Amino acid sequence: MLKRQNPSTPEHRRDLAAHGGAVSMSHNDSRSFFNLSQLVLSAGQIKPSPALKHSKITYFEVEIVDVQSKKQICLVDKVPPASTLLDVKHKFHKACPQWYPSRVGLQLEHNGPFLKDSVSIQSLAVSSIVTLYFTDLGQQVGWTTFFLTEYTGPLLIYLLFYIRLSTIYDQVESRKNFRHPVVHLACFCHCLHYIRHLLETLFVHKFSEGHTPLKNMIKGCAFYWGFTSWIAYYINHPRYTPPSFGHKQVSYAALAFLMCEAGNHFINVALAHQTNSEGNRTCVPSPTYNPFTWLFLLVSCPNYTYEAGSWISFTVMTQTLPVGIFAFLMVIQMSLWAQKKHKLYLKRFYPEVRRKAAMIPIIF
């Protein structure tokens, strides 16, 4: 007869103890693993080793070739994509010190236009090698220096003739002959014109990037200084004769001159406010609340219109041949500048300027 096993026997208690101990040990192991995981997570995200990082940057090589001989002058390597043409010019200057950046003219094509310094190399690149054609622009000067030199000369030269130096005029004849009031008025108007130009150069105008060749400044100075000497010599001469219609002709012409000078100044101020810091036009030139700027409604370049009006008025006021010739040449030159700028406006702001003239109203 089989004997029924008692659960409370020592053997059974040993089996339960052994089984329970195994369960307890398994439970402790899982808790330990959980605590270790929490410790690792609380320490922060595991960062990859710096050796695993890998960043690839593409550099360009800029080949600078002489535009005439087609021979390579310099090879600028390791040029970052964000570099501008000015950065390349500086590196080129380090390799060839005789050509400083403002003297270097670079073209993408053999007969193409000169590229601006702000152009990025990445925008020019078709492959990893960029070929640019080099032209020596000659010795350069800044635009501020250019205009200050060009306008300071006429101001000083006219004053030398106005005081009638003994080396220019006969002193006996100078003291004997009476000066007509128009002589003093002409000196005032002439000085006012060039003082306005100098002040606007310093405080109003915003010049674009780049320079101009020194030979251009020499030609401009020769033109302005030479004509000023010729004009001042005749107006301040002891034998100068006043205008034919007397006081009325002088008064009306002087009033027109002052109005043109004021209009020219207000136009230049309006243009400066509508131009960014780099001297680039951001919108079509438009009139303001100032009535002198309403000429923008008829012409694209009213500053040239007022400039021409100033010299025509000065011609009528003084009634001298040298002033008339100078005014005629200035009108031709400014009309050419106005036509060039008008065509540029037509390309950029066609609907707004298509019904305007370039410089003279009504003439399209």
The domain locations on the chain are 60-138, 139-241, 246-278+286-363
Q: How far is CA 1 from the centre of its chain?
A: 118
Write out the chain's pLDDT in tens, 364 residues: 434 444 444 444 444 444 444 444 444 555 555 555 555 445 544 444 444 344 455 889 999 999 988 899 999 988 998 899 999 999 999 999 988 898 999 999 888 889 988 899 989 888 889 999 999 998 999 999 999 999 999 999 999 999 998 899 988 888 888 899 999 999 999 999 999 999 999 999 988 766 899 999 999 999 999 999 999 999 999 999 999 999 999 999 999 999 999 999 999 999 998 876 555 666 778 899 999 999 999 999 999 999 999 999 999 999 999 999 999 999 999 999 999 998 888 888 877 777 788 898 875 4
Listed in sequence order, the residues at least 6 apart from 213 whose beta carbon sits closer than 8 Å to its beta carbon are: 137, 138, 139, 140, 141
Burial of 308 (0-12, 13-18, 19+ CB in 10 A): buried
CATH architecture, domain defined by 60-138: Roll (3.10)
- Looking at residue 108, the DSSP 8-state letter turns out to be S
Strands of 72-79's sheet, edge to edge? 72-79, 60-66, 129-136, 104-107
Bridge partners, residue 131, by sequence: 63
Residue 281 near residue 348 (C-beta atoms within 8 A): yes
Angle at CA 289, nearest 5°, toward 304 and 302?
A: 10
Axis-axis angle for helices 321-348, 302-318 (nearest 10): 170
Which pLDDT score, from 0 to 100, does residue 38 have? 56
pLDDT tens readout for residues 207-251: 876 689 999 999 999 999 999 999 999 999 999 999 999 999 999
Closest C-alpha among 302, 228, 317, 298 to residue 265: 302
Count the Cβ atoms, other than its own, within 10 Å of residue 125: 16
Distance between CA atoms of residues 85 and 121, nearest Å: 6
* C-alpha distance from residue 92 to each of 76, 88, 262 (Å): 7, 6, 46
Residue 235 near residue 186 (C-beta atoms within 8 A): yes
Residue 88 near residue 46 (C-beta atoms within 8 A): no
pTM to 2 decimal places:
0.77
Query: What amino acid occupies position 178?
Result: F
- The pairs formed by 70-74 with CB atoms below 8 angstroms and a separation of 24 or more are 73/134
